Structure formats: C-alpha cells, structure tokens
Amino acid sequence: MRKGNHMRPILIPIIVTAALSLSAAFAKAEESGEMVLTIGGEEQHFRLDPKQSDWGGGKGEGSGPDLMIPTIMGWAADEKTREHYGVFSLSFTMYDDDISSPELQLSRKVGDTWEQLFASDEKGGLTLEISEHQIDGFTATVSGTFTADMGVTPNYGRDVDLTNPLAVSGRFTAVLNSNKND
C-alpha cells in the first residue's frame, strides 16, 4: 500500500457530505405562481412560465433596503382564457416598498390575428400594490394587485393607442429564482 492511500476511505464520505451540505445551502425554491386578470367582468387565468420569469436585485445589508426587479410571465392556463388571450407579463422595480417603472403586457386574439396590449404608469395609468414581498437567498416571493387601461402597441410599449382602452384589474403571486443556469 502506498503512503496516503489509507486516508481515501475516510475522505470520500467527508467530501460527499460536504458537497451535499453545500448544495443544500444553495438550493432554490420551486418556481410557481399564478396571475388572474379580470377583463369585462370575467376572470382570465394565467400560469407562471418559470423559464421566462425571474428577478434581480438583492437583500439589503443590515437594515439597508431591499431591491427587487421581477419579471413575471405567464401563459393562458385554461381553455376559456386561451380562446382570447395568450401571454401575460408584469415587470417593475421595487426598492424597499417604493415601486417604479411598472409595465403590463398582454397578447389578445382578435379574429385570426394576435395583437399586443401594453400599459405602464405613464401609458394607461397602471397602478400596482404589493401585498407581500420577501427575498431569501436566490428566491424572491412577491404578491399583489394591479389595475390599468391597456392599449394596442405595435412596438412593445413605445407607442400605445389608448383611444379604445381595455380596462383590466388583477392579482398575482409568484415565487421566482434569480439564476436560470441550473
């Protein structure tokens, strides 16, 4: 037996235990969420798309403020919703409890074509209220409600036609991870 080989049986369990402990420390919560829009008095349900939803930012140090920049994207969750709507997206910046730059996007089927709808705080009067937010490592949890008048846009919100707005209100809850490289 060569010198040092007698340590190998002891080192393997230690290395495996350390690796498992380290991976548990960096484990992320399962992403999930739902968005419910009320349009024309009817609820439309959307399910979170974890591959297209995420967040950036981080927990403030000590008593410092938290920064959360989520993008919540979902697809029509049931047949009734899919008849008229496709993709839903909500994004905003939250610095502690201060919300800025909210944007809401929705695809709507009109006849045989799809049109894109958009609202922000400046275009369509999007108001957003957060009822819960928490940052835990790589995971952010956020819930809230919103209202807006959405207008048709040919260019992702740069130009928005609000001459015949679509009034929407809704609620959302999402558990998001910050790193998609897993």
pLDDT for the residue 113: 95
User: Quick check: is 182 in a domain?
Assistant: no
User: Quick check: is 11 in a domain?
Assistant: no
User: Quick check: is 17 in a domain?
Assistant: no
Is pLDDT larger for residue 101 or for residue 2?
101
Residue ranges making up the domain that contains 80 = 28-177
DSSP per residue over 155-172, as a string?
STTSS-EEEEEEEEEEEE
pLDDT digits (tens, 9 = 90+) for 5-24: 555 555 444 444 444 443 44
User: Quick check: is 2 in a domain?
Assistant: no
pLDDT class of 28 with cuts at 50, 70, 90:
low
Token duo for residue 135: 């940052």
User: Quick check: is 50 in a domain?
Assistant: yes
Q: What does the pLDDT average to over 132-156?
A: 95
Token duo for residue 79: 């047949």
Q: What does the pLDDT average to over 166-171?
A: 97
pLDDT digits (tens, 9 = 90+) for 53-103: 999 998 888 777 889 999 999 999 999 999 999 999 999 999 988 999 999
Please indicate, yes or no, whether the overall pTM of this predicted structure exceeds 0.85. no
CA distance 96 to 41: 33
Is pLDDT larger for residue 125 or for residue 179?
125
User: Quick check: is 148 in a domain?
Assistant: yes
Provide the number of structural domains found in the chain: 1
List of residues 6+ apart from 34 with CB closer than 8 A: 45, 46, 47, 48, 74, 77, 172, 173
CA distance 55 to 49: 13
pLDDT for the residue 16: 43
